[in-house]
A = this chain, B = another copy of it.
Amino acid sequence: MVTAQGRLIGVGVGPGDPDLVTVRAVRTLERARLVLAPTLDAASPGRAERICREAAPSARIERVVMPMTSDAEASSRRRASAAEVAPLVVAALEVGGDVAWVTLGDPGIYSTFWLLVDAVHALAPDVLVEVVPGVVAFSALAAAAGVELLDDADHLVLATGRTRTEVVDAALADPDSALVLYKPGRQVQRVREAVASSDRRAVVGWLLGTPEAEIRPLAEAPDEVPYLTTVLVAPRRPRA
């Protein structure tokens, strides 16, 4: 039986730099009885774990293996992993205190946190859930590249390499639309070519916040980019 005191808290730790973690996230990680950090490989920490270790050195972290590739099959594997992790969360909550789950960026945006919430609620429907929002990767990339994303009546489309291509194409065809593409995979080539003939500012970045971070004009993106890549295309604006 789970007592009412402990909460499952999804903590966004931001895009990569340990100092882009919020004050609330640091405090939450340090106070939690247990911090669960997803990784692809049990032998090495994931990026969220690395950020957590630097930003909140006293956090009590346990590593959890979680597939994070973006194909459709991986989606059901992620769900299965969440179901495997859920009993661990419930057991920790039974002991008392909060359990934090760290996610890169923000827990509401393309994160595994809500899969975990579903799996935990299937076992223990009364578990209280909280979310600590985080800085998203596209804000960090725009900041690092000195790009103004949205002004006035502009809008932004945020999508992934798995989003329907017509959504991406419509954003590229609309001069008032910014486009952000996460985990673009091979879509990087399509977007790079679509933007090449326009005068829109476009950048690509990966491994933000790590020593291997790369930020380039999109025109100089290679055909193959790392998994956690962000593409950013600004609206076509006549600046005064």
Residues of A near any B CB (own CB < 8 A)? 12, 14-15, 17-24, 26-27, 55, 75, 79, 106-110, 113-114, 118, 129-136, 139-140, 142-144, 146-160, 162-164, 167, 174, 176-177, 239-240
Give the CA-CA distance A110 to B149 in the complex, in Å: 8
Closest to A232 in B: B108
Could you say which residues of chain B place their CB within 8 Å of the CB of A20? 22-24, 133
Give the CA-CA distance A43 to B148 in the complex, in Å: 30
| Least CB distance, A124 to chain B, in whole angstroms | 16
Point out the residue from B24, B79, B110, B136 that lies within 8 Å of A139, measured CB to CB.
Answer: B136
**Would A14 and B22 count as touching, CB distance under 8 A?**
yes
**Would B75 and A152 count as touching, CB distance under 8 A?**
yes
**Would A23 and B27 count as touching, CB distance under 8 A?**
no
Copies of this chain held together in the complex: 2
Give the CA-CA distance A215 to B158 in the complex, in Å: 24
Closest to A141 in B: B133
Could you say which residues of chain B place their CB within 8 Å of the CB of A18? 23
**Would A23 and B24 count as touching, CB distance under 8 A?**
no
Closest to A24 in B: B19
Could you say which residues of chain B place their CB within 8 Å of the CB of A167? 155, 174, 176-177
Point out the residue from B26, B143, B153, B156 that lies within 8 Å of A133, measured CB to CB.
Answer: B143
| Least CB distance, A17 to chain B, in whole angstroms | 7
Give the CA-CA distance A107 to B146 in the complex, in Å: 10
| Least CB distance, A9 to chain B, in whole angstroms | 10
Give the CA-CA distance A201 to B24 in the complex, in Å: 26
Could you say which residues of chain B place their CB within 8 Å of the CB of A144? 131
Give the CA-CA distance A22 to B159 in the complex, in Å: 25
| Least CB distance, A167 to chain B, in whole angstroms | 5
**Would B151 and A131 count as touching, CB distance under 8 A?**
no
Could you say which residues of chain B place their CB within 8 Å of the CB of A14? 22
Point out the residue from B15, B21, B133, B158 that lies within 8 Å of A142, measured CB to CB.
Answer: B133
